[in-house]
Amino acid sequence: MIVRHLILELLEQALQQAQEVGLLPPGTPTDVTVEHPQSPEHGDFATSLPLRLARSLRMNPLEIARRLAPLIPPAEVVERVWTEPPGFINFSLKAGWLSSQVESILQEGETYGNVDLGRGERVQVEFVSVNPTGPIHVGHARGAVQGDALAAVLSAAGYQVTREYYVNDAGNQMEAFYNSLYARYQQVFGHPAEMPQGGYMGDYMVDLARAIAAKEGERFLSMPPQEAVQELGRIGLEQMLGRIREDLNRLRVHFDIWFREHTLYQEGQYQQAMDLLRQGHHLMEREGATWFVSTALGEDKDNVLIRGSGVPTYFAADVAYHYNKFVEREFSRVINIWGADHQGHVSRMKAAVGALGIDPHRLIIIISQMVTLRRGDHLLRASKRTGDLVTLPELLEEVGPDPCRYFFLARSPESQMEFDLELAKRESSENPVYYIQYAHARIASILRLALERQIDYSDGDVSLLTDPAELSLIRKMVQLPELVESMATNLEPHHLPHYAQDVATAFHWFYQQCRVVSSTPGEEALVKARLKLVKAAAITLGRCLQLMGMEAPEQM
């Protein structure tokens, strides 16, 4: 049960009844919302509904609250309803109902927290999608973690989710990559080849050329240059994709589909999308190029789709790709996570989707801002190896995947972030990653001790769980399904790390206040009840770590 739904229903009924019997005048309809108060003395839920009704009803908000509160009917989960200035209505939950939820968590097990919000709706989450011309850097890694966690949350909320990586393996950037690799390959064998203008200068290109030369030998030197560029380039492309896949695997990010851009041209989706735009009178020939007339759809300027040379732009490929997503594969919603440098492409992409006859609201684009690495007071900008941005392998080597996943997820995508390397490696309660995982390891040690002492707690009576520390832990645990629903609705998985930290804090306090495995005569029943609570905490915290893609250690 999601208790928030019940509280909302009770409030809506009370408001309707108050207006029907004349306690409140009819007013402007308003959304009824409830929140979790920050302070326990304000209850488990609170609503500011009277404050938001005050202007339309022309009444004192506290008076509105006092008229509504008595009309809220008793419920099996609600212990008390009361009002507080300047116009809040607060709710506290019954201790007996709270303790009974331990059994519900144990019964649901590894599916605890799942909700059926999506009802099987097909959703695609496309993220990372870095051009395979260089290694993954920390900025890409942030989007990778956000996309993967969002996909996990949506799956837990009942959506049928496809994780997808779009491989830009066509166009000018790939030609520059191919030519750069050919120059480096020639240099390996002592040929004085010059790097092409706008080529890829990083040391990783030298390493890639050496690896191919060691395996393939000099055979590309005897080929016609253009043929050598293409064949060598395809080998380099596959090896670079292999490295990208390997790096992402180390971050525990996996994709269902690696979609190749060149298939849009081979299989006709590009032409079908262009034909559809032309039929809708969205294309115009101008200055020797083909333009998407986006100004007619509210954009500030038109956009080139096909250059005068006949070569499609990246925008044209994106249009074809979204035609494939919505029309051919029939995703109900598409969520793209793009880097900050793509901010300017959002509105034109939505305009193009609309021009294809698709509701633009079905396309959601999340912009992930940049990451700055910090070691103490020192900001890091350069990579030891490439002279460019710090690569994902370098970051993983220093701090490991769990801190990467936690800290990249803990801030909303639109906010810029600093990643503190020293904090990420610290084994103390100051590091939230260590703090949360230590809580899970402590839980596991308690359950191991119970097993060693052969304590069978399957018949434990959870109604004995009445201590404030016990109830505080349960209060926090029962919020998980509600949180999953909220994160899936608002596409905000960044709340998950903070919730996991709250659960860990509640458990640590419970552990300090309540002895679990006790040898004191007469406490056998309480021990069994508390072991059930500990097992439920293991399920809840383990589920949080699983959704975040982090390890749930049994010992530390």
DSSP 8-state secondary structure symbol assigned to residue 294: G
Name the one residue in this structure whose structure tokens are 């399920």: 539
From the centroid of its chain, how far is CA 371? 16
Domain ranges of the chain: 3-93, 98-117+431-548, 172-250
Predicted structure pTM score: 0.94
Q: Which fold has domain 98-117+431-548?
A: Isoleucyl-tRNA Synthetase; Domain 1 (1.10.730)
Distance from C-alpha of 244 to C-alpha of 273, rounded to nearest angstrom:
30
* 98-117+431-548 matches 3-93 in CATH topology: no
**Tokens of residue 83, six digits:** 């009002």
* Range 520-531 burial, b when 16+ CB lie within 10 A, else e: eeeeeebbbbbb
Pairing of strands 283-286, 257-260: unpaired
Residues ≥6 apart with Cβ < 8 Å to 270? 264, 312, 316, 317, 320
Residue 284 DSSP SS3: strand
Strand 45-47's sheet: what is its strand order? 45-47, 88-93, 78-84
Q: For residue 259, which amino acid is it?
A: F
| Bridge partners, 343 (sequence order) | none
Successive 10-residue mean pLDDT values, the chain, 556 residues: 93 93 84 92 96 92 97 92 97 97 98 98 97 91 97 98 96 93 97 92 94 96 96 97 97 98 96 97 96 95 95 96 98 97 94 98 96 85 52 93 97 94 94 98 97 96 98 98 98 98 98 91 94 98 98 95
Name the one residue in this structure whose structure tokens are 């490991």: 400
H-type alpha helices, 324-378:
346-355
What pLDDT sits at residue 380?
76
Q: Per 3-state DSSP, what percentage of the chain is helix, strand, and coil (rounded to 5)?
A: 55, 15, 30
Query: Number of C-alpha atoms within 13 angstroms, CB side, residue 194?
Result: 3
Distance from C-alpha of 381 to C-alpha of 391, rounded to nearest angstrom:
11
Distance from C-alpha of 78 to C-alpha of 80, rounded to nearest angstrom:
6
Residues ≥6 apart with Cβ < 8 Å to 515? none
**Tokens of residue 461, six digits:** 């009576």
DSSP 8-state secondary structure symbol assigned to residue 71: G
H helix or E strand, kind and range, residue 401: helix 401-409
How many Cβ atoms from other residues are within 10 Å of residue 299's Cβ?
16
CATH assignment of 3-93, among 1.10.10.350, 3.40.50.2300, 3.40.190.10, 3.30.1360.70: 3.30.1360.70
**Tokens of residue 397, six digits:** 């080597």
**Tokens of residue 302, six digits:** 């038109």
What pLDDT sits at residue 379?
81
